[in-house]
A and B are shown apart, each in its own frame.
Chain A
């Protein structure tokens, strides 16, 4: 057992935020190492303050530590100053729980929430003293795995990962543990033995057992298994009932400042609003609500165990939870004994009803509300199937300003399919009108517009879309800056369009990008999601060095029959469903939320014989978005719904 603390400690006084590295949080018990337990090091490849709140990692941490045959610890990417110390002093990557050396664990499991962390993954593997390329690893080395949303196209990392998990981790993590335990107790035979065993588990993809073949034009011909143990298509895992998994039970309470520093209770998983740009909404289907009683219990116990004074009810769109009003009100009532507890809804739907709920729960600290209309014109919002009317938005903003909020923040995307300058400029028009509503209320409200460049993702209807060039995205941002200058009081913020380009490269890239990632990492390009460390020049140089064309990967529209790098993986969604949704999008046709309307067979339920778990068969009050009618006013939304379902549209 190698505890690196004694060697690490003398250097911690000289690095920024040393509390990132000390552990000591109150959290689940980590059992002592034992040959009968598979040792997992769960790695979040970004800083502690970004990674600690990650619920996926915390859920697996608890589930593993409850098992008699597993133990799990955590680590996060060391900041550049500590990395320098580790390399200089020859100290390996370590767990924050017990400061054990990373190479003593049997499995290093990475959480991949975003593409720009890929170089950090390589850096962490290397700091662990493990060869970065999977084919160079031997039986003594830890297995390197990954899960999280970005793993739906894991191909750029295929050279570096031993196994990849698609979908919900709660069940499959135990099956992986059993396979690894059997391999270890069998004497750690050749590495291929455990890889084959892992490939036999549903939801687990072993990249080394597949090989891509390319056509003369550079497109993929196929990615096919080269080993009998590997299935032709790897299906994602989906837990049927969130109520069976009330995790985390003992959320980790950090000792130092982190993002989202509050109790988080996941109220449902999955979303079927059907926003076409949203990968999360596509890959996490169907909707699985947690029983309301369990939500109440988790809030109550969580507040008591953690000492937090704030709880966030999390999901992709919490206002859609059946009976959301009752749940938040009773959560607050129950918490009274524990002192002043506030409830927050991190993802607000854009309508007045939602603001009403927010007003009831956010009695104090009523500072800012955030909405995401995503596009500036109704036409554009039909293309992306984010069916918010201007009336919805104005009613929400009006309600917010009437009820004491001073700041409204609006999220938008630019670079969406079929977007014209008129659509783009509609963003500032919407924002100006919102500001006008504040003035009518007689106070100086502010409206902040936050703009991101759209990046197409795997398993969405927009996976065929050639994203806007960096110049085009920048031009649109500048267009907005000019327009916002004339709209006094509207503040504009935008994401770095160069970072969107690299995100786009990774999100739909193939295995030929492996050497590019390695090149950028070797050139020192870590922490690429941090603007002060982002280096587009490194990525461009690496692409050129390997004879690859950024344009071809990012800006090219794919055709219907092109083989995509993730075609041998499945999120349950039929490819022809996605293609039809893409065609509908170009025809500006909307599609309803199937939670409350008949099934259109996207494949996510039918393929796995599961169903939505929703307590209420009718949409929540006020939620016009995607339902085909405005429930607040009892009128229809002027949306043309998809031809495939035209007979089912309420008339």
Chain B
């Protein structure tokens, strides 16, 4: 029987410039280094069975990335973060892990939206306010995306589930079903002159019995001694 665990981890600081592909390689090596026995795929070229959730763009930070691991030998999920963290680079911290039932939907399928914190330090506050009012009041928000070499126009408005402002910081909940709306696409659609800002994913959301919930229930995260913020050095 398959033994699967789900891990929530951060990507903060200098390592925000790693790509999604880099992340997969780092996890493979870190798990091997920490002695966690991962199950391998069958076939000509066996690979460790790791599956990541929605890709985070290179340059974005996150407090809540997810990874599902197929284990060859079971580990206490309460201990997994402590086992693997010494092998992860600065800024990447496994916060919590839990066993998952085989056959549950993959992260890619299950995650319906993400919450983003976007800091636009170079844009005047009133201009941000104005832009947000304009978007929230509109019925549609056309964006142009490339698909198989063709440029097509989509309406991004339905994917904006929430959008608030605190000074130069925007907080946005953006849908990832049926298509993920990226923070950069949102900003470009509001005002192309705003730039990309500094982007932090704070949450990913799934729907369980009609209620919004993180892919791992975080209720008792702090009581387990795991901390959702990285050690100070990671921010340097």
Contacts and interface: CB of A to CB of B under 8 A. Distances in A.
Residue among A5, A23, A24 facing the most chain B CB atoms (10 A cut-off):
A24
Given A13-B59, A255-B22, A5 B87 contact: no
A307 B44 contact: no
B149 interface: no
A338 B14 CA distance: 30
A26 B87 CA distance: 8
A18 B58 contact: yes
Nearest to B13: A24
A5 B21 contact: no
Residue among B19, B31, B33, B87 facing the most chain A CB atoms (10 A cut-off):
B33
A309 interface: yes
Interface in B15-40: 15, 17-19, 21-22, 25-26, 28-33, 37-38, 40
A308 interface: yes
Interface string B31-72: 111000110100011100000000000110000000000000
A24 B40 CA distance: 28
Interface string B108-143: 000000000000000000000000000000000000
Contact of B44 (A305, A306, A339, A364): A364
Residue among A18, A255, A256 facing the most chain B CB atoms (10 A cut-off):
A255
Contacts of A26: 87, 89
B173 interface: no
Contacts of A338: 32
Residue among B15, B17, B30, B33 facing the most chain A CB atoms (10 A cut-off):
B17
Given A13-B59, A339-B37, A364-B44, A308 B17 contact: no
A449 B102 CA distance: 49
A443 to B, nearest CB: 16
Contacts of A339: 32, 37-38, 40
A5 B14 contact: yes
A439 interface: no
Contacts of B45: 364-365
A308 B33 CA distance: 8
Contact of B29 (A12, A13, A306): A306
Contacts of A34: none
Contacts of B90: 24
A12 B59 contact: yes
A256 B19 contact: yes
B14 A22 contact: yes
Contacts of A24: 14-15, 89-91
Interface residues of A, number: 26
Contact of B26 (A13, A255, A304, A364): A255
Interface string A60-81: 0000000000000000000000
A24 B89 CA distance: 6
B29 A253 contact: yes
B29 A340 contact: no
B220 to A, nearest CB: 31
A68 to B, nearest CB: 25
B33 A25 contact: no
A132 B32 CA distance: 45
A18 B59 contact: yes
A128 to B, nearest CB: 21
B40 A340 contact: yes
A307 B91 contact: no
A476 to B, nearest CB: 38
Contact of A307 (B19, B21, B30, B40): B30
Contacts of B58: 13, 18-19
Contacts, number: 70
A340 B44 CA distance: 13
B18 A19 contact: yes
B32 A307 contact: yes
B130 to A, nearest CB: 25
B18 A364 contact: no
Residue among A5, A18, A21, A364 facing the most chain B CB atoms (10 A cut-off):
A18
A18 B17 contact: yes
Nearest to B234: A24
A308 B29 contact: yes
Contacts of A364: 44-46
Given A13-B59, A340-B40, A255 B33 contact: no
Contacts of B17: 12-13, 18-19, 21-22
Nearest to A18: B17
Contacts of A253: 29
B196 interface: yes
B211 interface: no
Interface in A283-322: 304-309
Nearest to B236: A5
Nearest to A23: B14
A19 B21 CA distance: 12
B236 A255 contact: no
A544 interface: no
A305 B33 contact: yes
B22 A307 contact: no
Contacts of B46: 340, 364
Contacts of B59: 12-13, 18
A221 to B, nearest CB: 54
A307 B33 contact: yes
Given A24-B91, A26-B89, A256 B18 contact: yes
B151 to A, nearest CB: 23
Interface string B207-234: 0000000000000000000000000000
B4 to A, nearest CB: 18
Contacts of A255: 15, 18, 22, 25-26, 89
Interface string A1-42: 000010000001100001101111110000000000000000
A636 B31 CA distance: 53
A593 B59 CA distance: 54
Interface string A193-231: 000000000000000000000000000000000000000
Interface in B55-105: 58-59, 87, 89-91
Given A24-B89, A306-B29, 5 more contacts: A18-B17, A21-B17, A256-B19, A307-B87, A339-B37
27 contacts: A13-B59, A18-B17, A18-B58, A19-B18, A19-B19, A19-B58, A21-B17, A22-B14, A22-B15, A22-B17, A24-B89, A25-B89, A26-B87, A253-B29, A255-B15, A255-B25, A255-B89, A256-B19, A256-B22, A257-B22, A304-B33, A306-B29, A307-B30, A308-B29, A338-B32, A340-B46, A365-B45
